[in-house]
Amino acid sequence: MFWVKKVVSQGIMPIPFILLLLLVSLFVWRRRAMAKYLVASAFLLLLFLSSQLSVSTLVQPLESSYPINSTPISGQCFVMVLGSSHSDIQAATAVQSLSAVALARLSEGIRQLALGQDCILIVSGWGGELTQISHAEMMAKAAVELGVDKSKVIQFPLARDTVEEAQYLKWELGESSFRLVTSASHMPRAMAIFTGKGLAASAAPTDFRARDDFWWRLTADNLVSSQRAIHEYIGRLWLWIKQE
């Protein structure tokens, strides 16, 4: 089911879906009315998703669900940073190997550590098939490079997605409270998953994508932000279907 979810979700992401519409239009080109409809749909979809309007419509509702968390942490201090991605770049440091999303999440996780006393950092993520080491290990190495004590880092190198991250954390912490760090757009779904497993999560969102801009401006950043938002809405739908 993990791979089915990945394949289906990628197939309906904006760029693959737009290309699919254009490809189908070529096969039905003799049927001019249908071909024109498909091409027009692809054009309008690309126009909307690369505009500021899509950010306001799709991204901001997700990112406004949880505010920035700067509340001091009392008692036991655990900070869980959800995984993203990295690359095996020759001669690069761990920090340099992290994706922009992973680095933003790790930076916020380290900031959260400073809000408590003697905190434990928890990082996660498997290696997949494109990297030699797990994402959790790369995140741990990057954290140490940024000043975190190696003995204060716990790794979940086998967790492939948010559901598995929540399960591993439940085995590790039980009912202990913790700060949950992930991208702001991903936070609503992550909180639903973690709290749904009975975990005492406190949201600490980061990696905000929504920015005020002219409504008519078309950018690749808007397209990326829209794609991430669509990914989240699909993920929430999938979560709802599994719970039914």
Amino acid at 122: I
| Listed residue (186, 223, 165, 193) closest to 48, CA to CA | 223
Question: Cα(203)–Cα(184) distance, rounded to whole angstroms?
Answer: 9
Listed in sequence order, the residues at least 6 apart from 11 whose beta carbon sits closer than 8 Å to its beta carbon are: 17, 20
Question: Cα(124)–Cα(169) distance, rounded to whole angstroms?
Answer: 10
Domain boundaries, the chain: 78-206
Provide φ and ψ at 178, rounded to 5°.
Answer: -160, 165
**What percentage of residues in the chain have a pLDDT greater than 90?**
74
More confident residue, 10 or 100: 100
DSSP 72: P
- When the candidates are 1.20.1050.10, 3.40.50.970, 3.40.50.620, 3.40.50.2000, the CATH number that belongs to 78-206 is 3.40.50.620
The predicted-structure confidence for 185-231, as pLDDT tens digits, reads as follows: 999 999 999 999 999 999 999 999 988 877 778 999 999 999 999 99
The predicted-structure confidence for 113-133, as pLDDT tens digits, reads as follows: 999 998 999 999 998 766 789
Of the pLDDT bands very low, low, confident and very high (cuts 50, 70, 90), residue 173 is: very high
Question: Cα(79)–Cα(81) distance, rounded to whole angstroms?
Answer: 6
Helix H segments across 126-186?
Answer: 135-145, 162-173
Of the pLDDT bands very low, low, confident and very high (cuts 50, 70, 90), residue 233 is: very high
The three-state secondary structure class of 222 is helix
What pTM does this model have? Answer: 0.88
